[in-house]
Amino acid sequence: MEQYLTLELFIENALCSVSIDKIYTIDITKEACEAIKKHTNLNICKYKFIIEEGYIRHVKNRHPEDLHLLYKVPVILNSFTHVEKSITQDKQTKQNEVSLVFKKTFEDGTIKMVALRIIRGNILSLKTFYRT
């Protein structure tokens, strides 16, 4: 598995690629991990946060106005304004999924970022984000 030097380079390459196997990993700081645990009761300290390249193209194709928000993911993850746990049902499998919803306020508005918790593999995977 190839790790890119920067998130910017990963996004740039993903936009030009057709593969779906590359991922970018963002470290969750100890401070963010402790705050997540305090607010949600979830201990994700051993988890890694990933962005899949297919998701980059999803944003470009379905939410082009939000493409620039991808560059803010590390900031949202590690210095969020608010975080909460959300339980939703997967439309295909009907299984309950636990997600974390991160909120971060910037000068140009508030962004909510949803990360799906994948217990197998200790992964938080970027699912979506939107403005509120």
Chain position carrying tokens 């909120």: 103
Q: Cα torsion at 14, 61, 93, 77 (round to 10°)? A: 60
CA 52 – CA 71 distance, rounded (Å):
14
Indicate the range of 28-32, 93-97, 118-122 predicted with least confidence: 118-122
pLDDT digits (tens, 9 = 90+) for 34-93: 999 999 999 999 999 999 999 899 889 988 988 888 999 999 999 999 999 999 888 888
CA 66 – CA 82 distance, rounded (Å):
20
CA 120 – CA 112 distance, rounded (Å):
25
Q: What is the pLDDT of residue 1?
A: 46
Closest by alpha carbon to 24, among 48, 47, 4, 46? 4
Q: Does some domain include residue 75?
A: yes
- Name the band, by pLDDT with cuts 50, 70 and 90, for residue 132: confident
Q: Does some domain include residue 32?
A: yes
Range of the domain at 56: 7-131
Q: Check if the beta carbon of residue 78 is closer than 8 Å to that of residue 28.
A: yes
Report whether pLDDT(15) > 70: yes
Q: What is the pLDDT of residue 84?
A: 94
Report whether pLDDT(119) > 80: no
Please give the residue that has the higher pLDDT: either 130 or 41. Answer: 41
Residue 78 contacts by C-beta under 8 Å, 6 or more apart in sequence? 28, 29, 31, 32
Q: Does some domain include residue 1?
A: no
Q: Does some domain include residue 95?
A: yes
Number of domains in the chain: 1
Q: Does some domain include residue 2?
A: no
Q: Does some domain include residue 79?
A: yes
Q: Is 85 helix (H, G, I), strand (E, B) or coil?
A: strand
Q: Does some domain include residue 20?
A: yes
Residue 28 contacts by C-beta under 8 Å, 6 or more apart in sequence? 36, 44, 45, 47, 48, 49, 77, 78, 124
